Chains A and B, each alone.
Chain A
Amino acid sequence: MEYILMIIACVFVNNIILSQFLGICPFLGVSNKLGTALGMGVAVIFVMTLATLVTSLVHVYVLVPMGIEFLQTIAFILIIAALVQMVEIILKKTSPSLYQALGIFLPLITTNCAVLGVAIGVTQKFDITAGNYILQSVVYTASTALGFAVAICIFAGLREPLALVDVPKAMKGVPIALITAGILAMAFMGFANLA
């Protein structure tokens, strides 16, 4: 039950993009087409869950016992960078079409602040002495990443028809996308009393 509530809270109530403002770059960058948005969403779910699993293990078994928590930022970003590189190599070999579709955005997952943000966030959010720290972190991350995928897919669905609409010249592109995102964020605020 605890975990179901956590999943609902992460996907809808505290949506990572629309209420925490993490991962805005891919949110604006790869949301022109629903297909690419879906690919990005899946890639982020995979990378983020894997990244938090590894970083929480490192946090619990390396950083905390040795008392070097201040190296957290450096350690985590290096782990994430290495992981993304690995995922990129695997994807290149197994699914060239998806690899081509995601283009430059896969290496950019390294600088997707959502991944590092959640990895650091869980170390502050959950009690490390509790026995289920790793499980809690991983479930939290997976559902947060699912929230990312949901938001980016809905947003891509809104942006596709928007490309055909005649908006004022200065509003074209990013500004109108931002305002659409604002309206979407307002809609997500309706979930606030859910959990």
Chain B
Amino acid sequence: MLLSKNRVIRRRAVVGLLVAASLTLLTMSYREGSTGVVGSVQNGAAEVTAPFASVAHRVTSPFVDAWHWTTGLIDARNQTAKLHRLEAQAGRDAALIKQLQQENTTLKGQAHYVQENPTFHPVSGSVIIQSPDSDTPSVMIGIGSNQGVQVNDPVVAPLSSGGALVGRVKEVTGSTATVQVLLDPAIGVTASVQNRQGANGTIVPSTGTPGELTMAEVPQSALVKDGDTVVTSGYTGRLKSLYPDGIPIGRVTYVQNDDLGQQSKQIQVTPFVNFDNLSGVVVLELK
């Protein structure tokens, strides 16, 4: 019992002394800072332990390097995954930007057309029905008389799709309009070959080649070559054309030079507008 009591006292004394020593050192350290006895003790301790620390550092450095390599590898994989996510995001953003640019181009095109043709007011509309009837091809668009559309208004493709001639408005209701497209045999558009003097004619659908156009009644004397651009001539004489001049129609793909003494020749024209894939049009309303 006495032995146990002595042990308890000794323990308490040791712990008490150590606590008192700690508090004393803490007070001294706080008052003196890094100078005086405390500072020299710290410098001495650092000097003594420095060689051991250096050895320990060297011995363990391969393991530390291996650890860093492993964690670096994990970090690299995480960063790769993050980069993949960012790349996907960038792709989506790029697609969005492209879409916005196209919209911007369309709107700019409309504005541009107004500048060039101050007598027309462009109204864009979506194609809601595309007629499957190949004899009288037409499309129905989602704008009508409520939006100011009238019969015989010229219809062009959006500038983003080339801005080429599509046809004319054939029928109108309040909210829809039927467009007679260039592939309709009943349509005829006065046209000319750009930059070719006297190369005027009438655009009609090709009889033997679906989807192609023929420019008929072109004078034999007119010099026309493959690749030339055909535009509306906008005839303004007594029989005024429905279409303003300069609207692109298509590109010359074949010139039939008639050597049988005929006065005119035919030119095959591929339209700029893809009538099978027409999603939107612009109706040019007369102001």
A interacts with B: no
Interface of A with B (CB < 8 Å)? none
Interface of B with A (CB < 8 Å)? none
